[in-house]
C-alpha cells in the first residue's frame, strides 16, 4: 500500500511538471523568438494548459491507481460545496489575514473595484483553484504520512513555488515583474493555510475556494513587493494556521476515550 502511494505521488509530480513546463516552455520560447505573444488565443491556450497541469495529472493518476472510478466523482469531490459554516468561516479568516495583515502595515494598494474580484472568483477557480486537486488532495496528505505535517507543508510549498517558476520569465504574466523569493514566502504561508483548511475540513472544495479568492482579490488589493510586508503576512498566516490546528488537537484530546 505504501509503495503504491509513493508511486502515485511521484508520478503525479512528474506528470504535473511535464504538462506545465512543456506548455509554458513552448510559450516562453515562442515569445522570446517573437513568434507568439501571451495575449493571443494560442498564447492563452498554452498558458491555460500549463496551469491545468495539476488537476489533469491528478485525475489521470488517481484513475490509474484506482482511487477514483471516473470523471464524475472526481468533479463531485472538487465541488462539494455543502460544508459546515465554521469551515467557510475559517476560509474567510485566512483570506482576511492574507490581505488584512499587509493592509495594516500600509502594504496594500487598491486597484480594481472589489465587486470585480467577486466576479473573478469563478474564473480563478479554473485559473488557479483547481490546482488544489493535486497539491492538497494528493501531494500534501501523502507527504504527511511520510514526514509529518510541518515538513510536508514546507516540501509541498517549495514544489508548488518551483512549479510556478516559468511564469516569472514569460512577459505579460502577473508574475513577470515579481520577485521569486518573496513569492515563495507567500506560497509557504498559503501552504500552511491550505493544509490546515484540508486537515480540519477534509474538503478539497474549500482549498479550491481559498486559492481562487486569493487570486481574485489580488487584482483589487495589490500587495507591496517589500520583503517586510510579505514576510509579516506569511508569518501571520502561519501563526493563525498553527493556532487553529492546536485548538483542534486540544478539543480532540479532551474527548472521552
Domain ranges of the chain: 70-254
Select from 217, 50, 44 the least CA-distant residue to 120: 217
The predicted structure's pLDDT at residue 256: 44
End-to-end Cα, the chain, rounded Å: 29
The predicted structure's pLDDT at residue 254: 41
Model pTM score: 0.93
CA gap 85, 206 in Å, rounded? 11
The predicted structure's pLDDT at residue 6: 87
How many residues make up the chain in this entry? Answer: 257
In degrees and rounded to multiples of 5, residue 164 shows phi and psi of -75, -10
The predicted structure's pLDDT at residue 244: 96
Per the listing, cell 492574507 goes with: 98
Burial class (CB in 10 A: 0-12, 13-18, 19+), 37: middle
Residue spans of the chain under pLDDT 70: 1-3, 250-257
The predicted structure's pLDDT at residue 249: 78
Amino acid at each position: 500500500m505504501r509503495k503504491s502511494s509513493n508511486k502515485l505521488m511521484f508520478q503525479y509530480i512528474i506528470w504535473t511538471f511535464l504538462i506545465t513546463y512543456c506548455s509554458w516552455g513552448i510559450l516562453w520560447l515562442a515569445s522570446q523568438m517573437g513568434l507568439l505573444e501571451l495575449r493571443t488565443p494560442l498564447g492563452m491556450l498554452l498558458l491555460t494548459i500549463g496551469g491545468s497541469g495539476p488537476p489533469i495529472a491528478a485525475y489521470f493518476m488517481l484513475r490509474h491507481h484506482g482511487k477514483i472510478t471516473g470523471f464524475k466523482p472526481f468533479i463531485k469531490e472538487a465541488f462539494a460545496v455543502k460544508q459546515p459554516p465554521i469551515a467557510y468561516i475559517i476560509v474567510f479568516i485566512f483570506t482576511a489575514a492574507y490581505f488584512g495583515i499587509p493592509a495594516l502595515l500600509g502594504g496594500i494598494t487598491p486597484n480594481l473595484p472589489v465587486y470585480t474580484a467577486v466576479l473573478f472568483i469563478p474564473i480563478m477557480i479554473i485559473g488557479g483553484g483547481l490546482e488544489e486537486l493535486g497539491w492538497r488532495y494528493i501531494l500534501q496528505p501523502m507527504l504527511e504520512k511520510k514526514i509529518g505535517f510541518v515538513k510536508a507543508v514546507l516540501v509541498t510549498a517549495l514544489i508548488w513555488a518551483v512549479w510556478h517558476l516559468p511564469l516569472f520569465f514569460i512577459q505579460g504574466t502577473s508574475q513577470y515583474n515579481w520577485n521569486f523569493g518573496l513569492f515563495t514566502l507567500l506560497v509557504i504561508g498559503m501552504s500552511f493555510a491550505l493544509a490546515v483548511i484540508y486537515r480540519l475540513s477534509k474538503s478539497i472544495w474549500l482549498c479550491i475556494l481559498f486559492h481562487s479568492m486569493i487570486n481574485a482579490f489580488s487584482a483589487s488589493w495589490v500587495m507591496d513587493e517589500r520583503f517586510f510586508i510579505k514576510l509579516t503576512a506569511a508569518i501571520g498566516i502561519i501563526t493563525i494556521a498553527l493556532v487553529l490546528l492546536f485548538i483542534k488537537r486540544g478539543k480532540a484530546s479532551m474527548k472521552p476515550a
